[in-house]
Chain A
Amino acid sequence: MTFDLEFFNIGYLDTLSYRNSFVHRLDPRIKIIVSFIFVLFVVSFPKYEISSLIPFFFYPVFLLTAGNIPLKAIAKKVFFISPFAVFIGIFNPLIDTGTLYTVFGVPVSGGWLSFLSILIKYVLTVSTALLLIAVTSFPGICEALERLKLPKVFVIQLLFLYRYLFVLLEESLRMMRARDARSFGNRGKEIKTFVRLISVLLIRSIERAEMIYRAMLSRGFRGEIRVLRRHRINVYDILFLMISVTVFYLFRSFHLVNLLGETFSRVLR
């Protein structure tokens, strides 16, 4: 049941997001914006680029270590989730076979380079997305979205979705357990049974929504929920934004890896 475990990892990321550290305390708006800019910078590299991407590992590593997030939690997700990018990228070495490079006498084709580049970009962008949620609580994200002027309906039902996610997950786990207890091997997993199970789950969910709505009405709900605003942008936030964007820009425009490499190989000579 690896799939279930994957799902329950949500709970784990959720607990991580309530830790207290410098990056946890940053304003969620700033973290979202910086992470988005980071991804834009990373994907802006042309397809054969490898070495210039390496300095960009600074950002995820910073979030990971400053946020005191266990490396294993993130690495496992990055490497074991079947990535579409890898599936598509693997065709590059087969098609693009012209030699671009010779490393210690071994010819390297353009396809392998672009594949490697896709892999690096994949690791960078995916780990950043995971780390963003590991250092920012989900209500924090919702608060940021609301203050970034996304529609209220969107933000409020996103909060609802998240709140009831765990409740409904348990409900469906109970149903699965009941099904497994009544069936052997693959029996009980036919489409027909599945359709009925999921329909029942759907009906229960809708009934629950009706109950929640009544409960909300009796507590004075009038079509609007005020999202708690906990954060305020302070000096640290501004500094974090400015420094990280400047650093990304420098990494993007100066070939740090080559400069270092050349200087050192000259020293070695």
Chain B
Amino acid sequence: MHMADALLSPAVGGAMWAGSLGTIIYCAKKLRDKMDDKMIPLMGILGAFIFAGQMINFTIPVTGSSGHIGGGMILTILLGPYAAFIVIASVLVIQALFFADGGLLALGANIWNMGIYPAFIAYPLIYKSIVRKNSSNTAITIASVLSVVIGLQLGALSVVLETKSSGITELPLDTFLLLMQPIHLAIGLIEGFVTAGIVIYVRSLRPDIVENLEGVKTLSAGVSLKKVIIALGVLAVITGGALSWFASTHPDGLEWSIEKIYGKPEIPDKADSIKEAIGKLQEKTVILPDYSFPAKEGQEEKTPSWPAVDTGTSFSGLLGGIMVLSLVILFGLGIRFMSKYRAKT
């Protein structure tokens, strides 16, 4: 499931970007040190293969609906964690740009959710500890299913945590988890069996591919777990910080509305709104005013930057909204017209 910009706050989105970008740079460094040149075209082609493979659909056994692969684990098994992480990130870049899956800010979160867990948790800790060079098909199946399921569960959990700590959704944490985790368990089971099937079948046709590549990716054995854990820790702290930060500036929706309904002294008469706007100017010279730390108790009531929620302004708000929207449309039509005019002359 792709995370979306609209559900993220800048702090959470930025933290996830930092984590993913850091991991990409780290992986690239690891690859540069030990990589065979052969890997570059191979990585690109396997990335393209994921797209091509997603075009081929199959019937999902119980439901009868149509599904396609995700492919993160297959990449990791074939390429090893470092190269696979980079390929997964590239696939997501293309999805974000061409398919509008998620968006630019959410891309960081998506790379994290779909790349880190298969490559740096599920593969080294589960898959590698079960599968050896001449493992039986059963071992491969168990390892694939387990690692895909765990990878996806962690990914889904991250989506929930990222959304929750961004403070956009009203869904309570437990309902949200109940919504996400079981779905991803089902997806994970199917994806896991398909992954196992592919590894086993490819191994039976071209054993050299599975084993040769094992040779190419010598580095895969020693994924430095310590670094992964440190990175996870740092991220947890950042996200936690972001979370508390939000909790303090934006009380949750219900509280907030109750506060509004049962009188709190309302914002003064709208007649001198201009004066007020000027008064607020100072406050607004800070970039993104809502994201500054709450200064004083007394000020906090004013901070929720949604100005003046009373019925009087709702009309002018609506009017203003329509006006701005028409301005935007006029602006667009104007440019269209100008470029057509210029093309003619």
> Which residues of A are at the interface with B, using a C-beta cutoff of 8 A?
3-4, 6-7, 9-10, 13, 21, 35-36, 39-51, 54-55, 57-58, 61-62, 64-66, 68, 77-78, 81, 83-85, 88-89, 91-92, 95-96, 98-103, 109-111, 114, 118-119, 121-122, 125-130, 132-133, 138, 141, 150-154, 156-165, 167-169, 171-173, 175-176, 186, 189-199, 201-203, 205-206, 208-210, 212-213, 216-217, 221-223, 225, 249, 252-262, 264-265
Contacts and interface: CB of A to CB of B under 8 A. Distances in A.
B201 to A, nearest CB: 4
B6 A85 contact: yes
A262 B6 contact: no
Given A10-B98, A54-B324, A127-B100, 9 more contacts: A64-B332, A65-B332, A65-B333, A85-B7, A125-B104, A153-B40, A157-B44, A253-B285, A257-B320
B7 A197 contact: no
Shortest Cβ-Cβ A-B pairs, 5 listed: A160-B44, A261-B320, A151-B28, A98-B257, A261-B316
A210 B42 CA distance: 7
A132 B104 contact: yes
B241 interface: no
30 contacts: A6-B99, A55-B328, A77-B100, A84-B7, A99-B257, A100-B260, A110-B257, A111-B170, A114-B170, A121-B6, A122-B5, A125-B6, A128-B103, A129-B104, A130-B97, A151-B32, A153-B35, A153-B43, A154-B28, A154-B89, A154-B90, A165-B51, A191-B193, A195-B198, A198-B198, A209-B44, A212-B45, A252-B288, A260-B319, A261-B315
Given A66-B339, A161-B44, A186-B59, A48 B7 contact: no
B232 interface: no
Nearest to A98: B257
A194 B332 CA distance: 47
Contact of A150 (B24, B38, B290): B24
Interface of B: 1-10, 13-14, 24-25, 27-29, 31-32, 35, 37-38, 40-49, 51-53, 55-59, 61, 64, 66, 68-69, 74, 86-87, 89-91, 93-94, 96-105, 163, 167-172, 175, 190, 193-194, 197-198, 201-202, 205-206, 209, 250, 253-254, 256-258, 260-261, 270, 273-274, 277, 284-285, 287-291, 304-309, 311, 313-321, 323-325, 328-329, 331-333, 335-336, 339
A85 B196 CA distance: 32
Highest count of chain A CB atoms <10 Å: which of B175, B190, B328 = B328
A223 B3 CA distance: 35
A202 B198 contact: yes
A99 B261 contact: yes
B263 to A, nearest CB: 14
Contact of B29 (A130, A151, A209, A264): A151
A197 B68 CA distance: 12
Contacts of A44: 9-10, 288, 290-291
Contacts of A222: 37
Contacts of B5: 39, 42-43, 85, 121-122, 125-126
B291 A118 contact: no
B47 A157 contact: yes
B62 to A, nearest CB: 12
Contact of B257 (A89, A100, A152): A100
A255 B102 CA distance: 28
Nearest to A65: B335
Contacts of A49: 305-306
A122 B3 CA distance: 11
Contacts of A13: 98
B197 to A, nearest CB: 4
B6 A118 contact: yes
B41 A261 contact: no
Highest count of chain A CB atoms <10 Å: which of B1, B3, B7 = B7
A225 B329 CA distance: 44
B328 A169 contact: no
B3 to A, nearest CB: 7
A3 B69 CA distance: 13
B206 A160 contact: no
